[in-house]
Structure 1
Amino acid sequence: MTDDPLRLAGDFPPATHADWMAMVEKALDGAPFDKKLVARTLDGLAVQPLYTREHWPAEGDPSGMPGAMPFTRAARPLGQAQSGWDIRQCHANPDPAATRSAIAEDLENGVTSLLLRLDRAGRAGLDADADAAADLFGRDGLSLSSVADWDALLADVDLTRVPIAVQAGARAPLAAAMLTALWCQRGVKEEQARGAFHIDPLGALAETGRLPTGVDDALSLMAAVAHNAARTFPTGAVVAVSVDSAAYYDAGASEAQDLACAMATGVAYLRAMEAAGMSLDDACRQIQFSLSLGTDQYLSIAKLRAARLMWARIAEACGASEPARAARLHAITAARVLTRRDPWVNLLRSTMACFSAAVGGANAITVLPHDAALGQPTAASRRIARNTQLILQEESQLNRVIDPAGGSWALERLTEELAGSAWALFQDIEKGGGMAAALTSGRIAEQIATVREARRADIGKRKAPITGISEFPNLGEPSPDLAHPDLGALRDAAGTALARVRAEATADLGAVSGAPAVADLPTAIATAAIKGATLGGLDGAVAAGGGAESVPLPSHRLAEDFEALRDAADAHQAAHGARPRVFLATLGPLAQHTARATYTRNFVEAGGIEAVPGAGFTDPEACAAGFRDSGTTAAVLCSSDAVYGAHAVAMAEALKAAGCTRLLLAGRPGEKKADYEAAGIDGFIYVGCDVLGTLRGLHADLGVTSR
């Protein structure tokens, strides 16, 4: 026995980063290191293959400690270790009975707060029975036109224990008033109320391209509600203002653009609240950031840490006290990463987003059900969504370690670089007059569109592959069972209920429209709501004068281009009784053609095209006969380069003579390109080619109509 410490590497010389680089350069055999091993984000950030202490200072850690400036590591000293994060489930089913049942099931099984999303009619300021609401009722959300509707929906919910968050777009101040009225009606005391009003006028302007009032008026009303909330709910458990970056992220923004827009929006809201007479600390505490997370684990973790870092610096520069500089973060699965095809893969995407949110220290997390892109989620998908969080929190115990990313050279460096890139964009927005000016001028829309098109090109070439969509598609996948509410019947029922509300209403909407000042509006609106005023009535009383307009940010899912091809191929099958087909002209023995035949099958099935296998041909006439039997007009030669050199030209000539109108070759042609093209080969498919463009060309050749 000995007390000497065991030194496992004691007999080996220390390895340095330079030593590793020398070995890497030898292994690369002349290939450029930066091109082969260094990845770059769409923000231009270099992601190294290996990080060492040279990439992050060992002393004087700039990230500080959890709960202290610059809050990179956590907003609170204990992070989420004490009570875990808030498991927030979204509800948007227009069927009130189904939603009540779903809410009860969620609360009984681990969900800790509710996120209620109003339908498009409500977000447009329309009652359910308004003529203009006919095509908007029940779309993308709940119909809540009166306090009675809120009361009925939340009849089984203890509002003293369950926080209620609301998504109502530009009509969030009205929804806030109705929720406040419900608390009053239920006897919930000010210190017992818990919730988030999500008032985000600039976010609503970005999403829809318009506001019911001018930007300044919308900001003033937001600030008045926030001021009222700060005075009325002293515990800080009710947050009025939201900075929701979903409109930017789902339009295609990069992580740095997303953060820059969020920070610039937050600054605009601070200015509005300060102008309304709020102290800076109170204003900071009335803001919650809602950030969408994708499937890039490292970027998502760094994004949340960078958000806290940036906001702390902004609040510090504005003069807020240190405790008030800590950002509240709500993380949600990004809608843009969800796919309609092979939606079960979304389970993995959501798990990754939730994992990243937990490691990044989000205060609240919402996991969208895996079938959310298809329509109304099922009970099973909602259960899986909440259990994803429960497993990561209760079984994996991700909340037990405060900032597990802390000290990681890779994540610390990425956090710092992402924050720096986003800060430069944030400064550019501020120099241009702030977030409202950036939206109304169309600058933000143009900048995001540029990044989106770059990403779209990467997806089209499978440089950014999407599993189950552009890679490894399943043409025989079954369709999930979805709920299909009868919107007509639901709207009739909502109209009947509204007629009763209006018959019993005693509200004076003149008191709302004639409020002496904006500061008086929150109380006037809530009072009218308690007395039976409907959402549409309140909107008409508040939204006087012209509204604001900007270039709206269209929402795009990453998979939509490939899914459009699948939709068109399915429509072709429905119309003609068979899928569009491509013949795989496999040449030579199995060992020679199987790799490229497998690659080609995966390639064409991404466009909904069926691959008809060949038989390993060596005779051109046999290959031509197999093609004629396949019943298609397109073919792909599949084999090794050596076999191509011996047989590709003869096979191509035979296939063309047999009526092949579109002939591709799997592999790069190299110096034989001219010979192959002269023989009738129309194109080449290989890793890095334009997959989307090639598939569109095949669709056109096979008579598939674009949708």
Structure 2
Amino acid sequence: MSDPSLKLASEFPVPDRAQWLALVDKALKGAPFDKKLLTRLYEGIVVQPLYTRTDVAGETDPSGFPGASPFARGGRASGAGVDGWEIRSEHNASLPADANTAILDDLLRGATAIHLRLDSAARSGRTTEAALWGEGGIAIHGPEDLDRTLKGVLLEFVPLSLEAGASAERAAELLTDLWRARGTTPDQARGSFGLDPLGTLATEGRLSAPIEDSLTRMAAVAAATARDWPHATAVGVDTGAYHDAGATATQELAAAMATGTAYLKAMTAAGLDIATALGQIVFTLSVDCDQFLSIAKLRAARMMWARIAEACGAPESARRMRLLARTSRRMMSRRDPWVNLLRTTVAGFAAGVGGADSVAVLPFDAELGPSDAFSRRIARNIQILLKEESSLSQVIDPAGGSWYVETLTRQVAEAAWTEFQKIESAGGMAAALIDGSLAERIALSWAEREKNIAKRKDSLTGISEFPNLHERPVERSRPDLKPLRAEAASYLVGAGSPAEPGVNIAPLPRHRLGEAFEALRDAAEAFRNRTGNWPRLFLANLGPVASHTARATYAKNYFEAGGIETLGNDGFTEVEACVAAFKASGARIVALCGSDGLYESHAVAFAQALKQAGTDCLYLAGNPGERKADYTGAGVDEFIFVGCDVLATLRTAHARLGVCA
């Protein structure tokens, strides 16, 4: 019989933080604690190496219980429920028939909700520009297009969401008409129309009507939806534009809260009660492969929205945020896209642990054009594996009780709330977009991130780190859109030009983390296509393999991240042999690679000889320290080492080699 009072650790002394710090100091051997063990996030938050109960103030858990205020631990007491979160499949194939094939395939194989992204013509409101039909989304411009897209889909069983930008009101009308035409009753229909005028302004840089008019029309659609379609929502707050522009997690949350607040004001001004207005909004947040920050972001979002709802006088039952999570677009790479499988798996895990109601995992080839059946299958199966094999959805708030996650959630919420107040005090979200103040702050955040990416402090696997220069590219065929656009041009004959936009701003830019390095790879590939060879660098490896392999590998990864092929060898002990191999290689630039000891004895002689042999630029792999003057005097032009600006070095190398010509 077990003893309930038995404590397995009772015989061991309980260490305090001071004792732990003493042990850490011993292990660090004098290295500074702050530099080695603290992590500083772009959000201004410092992550500690250890969290304990003392990091959460008070005797009670500030996160409360699942399904209760402040909703950090989820919107439902039962967690994700028996079936878990919705597996949302996003579709952007240009032609309705192609989209339909993909939708039916997804529904038959595990997807439980469908998201339709309309083409650029619809999202931008420039539907009279035939050249935009089928670009970046499905060409849905009339009832026949939507009917073809959803042919064979049982609308009474499948939740649908729309991403239509400036055409969201028209798209909502098309969907409700289709529901009626197919006999889907109001009690059966489930969908999100996604009217998001401020998000459209941020993304497209224009609205066809003044902001107040756009918000009034949005509120009218919300009122009609609440009245006629009880299980549908009219309003969406999608933060993808801010995330893709480079926003931090706290800036993204602040934008979400400020946008949601503006929409609440518009809907209540139109006569909706606060509970009904809250029930009309669905939030979509981006999650990336920063696992813990993404988890904390989703938990903090629910806390913040519950606080806003409470301040507006909403009952507790109405304060729950409806939350969709989409894996980040900005983290996706075009080069070595297979790594995206790992990125989206981590992000999907974070979405599930963070308590999203619905999750969309982007296919690994999402940045290469319309995804094929294989990549969509893997994207579905990532979620199915997380839910059914990992049993992730069977645990209520898996991250609950982690002092790290709980502390990070609170810190993210507090920092985001400060940013939210900054937006509100300056006039609200519309004012922040029009005066450009929010865009400026996001641009500063992106600039800071860019610097760290350039120095590989933020490493990108397959792009800035461990690139595969000779990778086999993933090819994705694009449909022939000429017939569609010819049909559109014929259809639009005599159509009036679009109305004069009511609001114009500079749209937020769209970034990807790997864009700068991938631009170098693209330029190098174009150089190869012009000349027949990659731009090349010769590795002047000193001594035996064991002596130079570490720095030779470092140099190879360094330069091939910019598309510069490195020509390796087993190493040299004689200057003449090294010079002869360099001349035979056809390369114009060289990197010396060896141990510190070999640099001491050989670097000067090798550098002088290689420069005399015609080396255009001579690099030395490693920090030269006190020998810098000796090495530069011998002919070394640049030094490459951890912490230097890799991107700047590669751009200069491209210029020297004529890659950009």
TM tier, smaller: over 0.9
Match of 1:666 among 621, 637, 643: 621
Cα contact 1:439–1:551 (8 A) shared by 2: no
Whole-angstrom distance in 2 between the partners of 1:417 and 1:551: 32
Cα contact 2:237–2:259 (8 A) shared by 1: yes
Whole-angstrom distance in 1 between the partners of 2:504 and 2:30: 55
Counterpart for residue 595 of structure 1: 550
Whole-angstrom distance in 2 between the partners of 1:492 and 1:74: 50
Cα contact 1:199–1:241 (8 A) shared by 2: yes
Letter in 2 for 1:352: V
1:493 is displaced (CA, Å) by 5.3
Letter in 1 for 2:631: Y
Counterpart for residue 140 of structure 1: 136
Q: 1:451 to 1:2 in 2, by over 3 A?
A: closer
1:7 is displaced (CA, Å) by 4.5
1:242 aligns with 2:197: no
SS in 1 for 2:370: coil
Whole-angstrom distance in 1 between the partners of 2:299 and 2:107: 29
Cα contact 1:586–1:597 (8 A) shared by 2: yes
Letter in 1 for 2:216: S
1:624 aligns with 2:576: no
- Give the alignment's TM-score, normalised by structure 1: 0.91
Counterpart for residue 342 of structure 1: 336
Letter in 2 for 1:681: V
Match of 1:585 among 540, 548, 552: 540
1:5 is displaced (CA, Å) by 6.1
Letter in 1 for 2:583: R
1:123 is displaced (CA, Å) by 1.9
Counterpart for residue 505 of structure 1: none
Please list the CA deviations of residues 16-62 of structure 1 after superposition, one character each: whole Å capped at 9, or x if unmatched: 22211111112222222111110011011011111111112472111
1:699 is displaced (CA, Å) by 1.0
Cα contact 1:582–1:611 (8 A) shared by 2: yes
Range with greater deviation from structure 2 (436-445 or 149-158): 149-158
Whole-angstrom distance in 2 between the partners of 1:584 and 1:271: 64
Counterpart for residue 298 of structure 1: 292
Counterparts of 1:464-475 in structure 2 under 5 Å?
Answer: 464-475=458-469
Letter in 2 for 1:150: L
1:252 aligns with 2:252: no
Counterpart for residue 174 of structure 1: 170
Letter in 2 for 1:575: R
Whole-angstrom distance in 2 between the partners of 1:68 and 1:4: 31
Counterpart for residue 109 of structure 2: 109
CA RMSD of aligned residues (A): 1.8
Letter in 2 for 1:171: S
Counterparts of 1:82-101 in structure 2 under 5 Å?
Answer: 82-101=82-101
Counterparts of 1:3-14 in structure 2 under 5 Å?
Answer: 3=3, 7-14=7-14
Gaps of 5+ in 2: none
Match of 1:201 among 197, 207, 213: 197
1:361 aligns with 2:355: yes
Cα contact 2:68–2:75 (8 A) shared by 1: yes
Match of 1:151 among 135, 147, 154: 147
SS in 1 for 2:192: strand
Letter in 2 for 1:47: V
Whole-angstrom distance in 2 between the partners of 1:76 and 1:549: 41
Letter in 2 for 1:303: K
Letter in 2 for 1:343: P
Please list the CA deviations of residues 530-553 of structure 1 after superposition, one character each: whole Å capped at 9, or x if unmatched: xxxx9x89xx8xx86641122210
SS in 2 for 1:373: helix
Cα contact 2:123–2:165 (8 A) shared by 1: yes
Letter in 1 for 2:377: R
Please list the CA deviations of residues 632-684 of structure 1 after superposition, one character each: whole Å capped at 9, or x if unmatched: 11000000111101111111000000000100100000001111111110111
Please list the CA deviations of residues 257-294 of structure 1 after superposition, one character each: whole Å capped at 9, or x if unmatched: 00001000000000000111110110001000000111
1:225 aligns with 2:221: yes
Counterpart for residue 435 of structure 2: 441
Letter in 2 for 1:192: Q
Gaps of 5+ in 1: 503-533
1:313 aligns with 2:307: yes
SS in 2 for 1:592: helix
Percent identity over paired residues: 55
SS in 2 for 1:336: coil
Please list the CA deviations of residues 348-386 of structure 1 after superposition, one character each: whole Å capped at 9, or x if unmatched: 111111100000000000111100101111110011111
Cα contact 1:67–1:73 (8 A) shared by 2: yes
Counterpart for residue 426 of structure 2: 432
Whole-angstrom distance in 2 between the partners of 1:461 and 1:39: 17
Range with greater deviation from structure 2 (547-556 or 355-364): 547-556
Cα contact 1:665–1:685 (8 A) shared by 2: yes
Counterpart for residue 510 of structure 2: 555
Cα contact 1:445–1:551 (8 A) shared by 2: no
How many residue pairs are counted as aligned between the two chains? 661
Please list the CA deviations of residues 414-470 of structure 1 after superposition, one character each: whole Å capped at 9, or x if unmatched: 000000000000000000000000000000111000000100110010000000000
Letter in 1 for 2:558: F
Please list the CA deviations of residues 302-339 of structure 1 after superposition, one character each: whole Å capped at 9, or x if unmatched: 00000000000011011111111110000001110000
1:186 is displaced (CA, Å) by 1.4
1:397 is displaced (CA, Å) by 1.3
Letter in 2 for 1:169: G
Please list the CA deviations of residues 114-151 of structure 1 after superposition, one character each: whole Å capped at 9, or x if unmatched: 10011011223354xx4x22x21111001111112111
Q: 1:618 to 1:545 in 2, by over 3 A?
A: closer
Counterpart for residue 288 of structure 1: 282
Cα contact 1:52–1:409 (8 A) shared by 2: yes
SS in 1 for 2:367: coil
Please list the CA deviations of residues 205-249 of structure 1 after superposition, one character each: whole Å capped at 9, or x if unmatched: 001111111111110111100011111123xx2011001000000
Whole-angstrom distance in 2 between the partners of 1:166 and 1:38: 42
Range with greater deviation from structure 2 (684-693 or 117-126): 117-126
Cα contact 1:17–1:52 (8 A) shared by 2: no
- Give the alignment's TM-score, normalised by structure 2: 0.97
SS in 1 for 2:347: helix
Counterpart for residue 392 of structure 1: 386
SS in 2 for 1:90: strand
Whole-angstrom distance in 1 between the partners of 2:552 and 2:125: 56
Counterparts of 1:22-171 in structure 2 under 5 Å?
Answer: 22-57=22-57, 59-127=59-127, 130=128, 132-133=129-130, 135-171=131-167
Cα contact 2:96–2:140 (8 A) shared by 1: no
1:186 aligns with 2:182: yes
Q: 1:680 to 1:20 in 2, by over 3 A?
A: same
Whole-angstrom distance in 2 between the partners of 1:3 and 1:249: 53
Range with greater deviation from structure 2 (118-127 or 207-216): 118-127
Match of 2:605 among 650, 653, 667: 650
Cα contact 2:206–2:501 (8 A) shared by 1: no
Please list the CA deviations of residues 135-178 of structure 1 after superposition, one character each: whole Å capped at 9, or x if unmatched: 21111001111112111221201111111110001211111111
Whole-angstrom distance in 1 between the partners of 2:515 and 2:447: 13
Range with greater deviation from structure 2 (440-449 or 623-632): 623-632
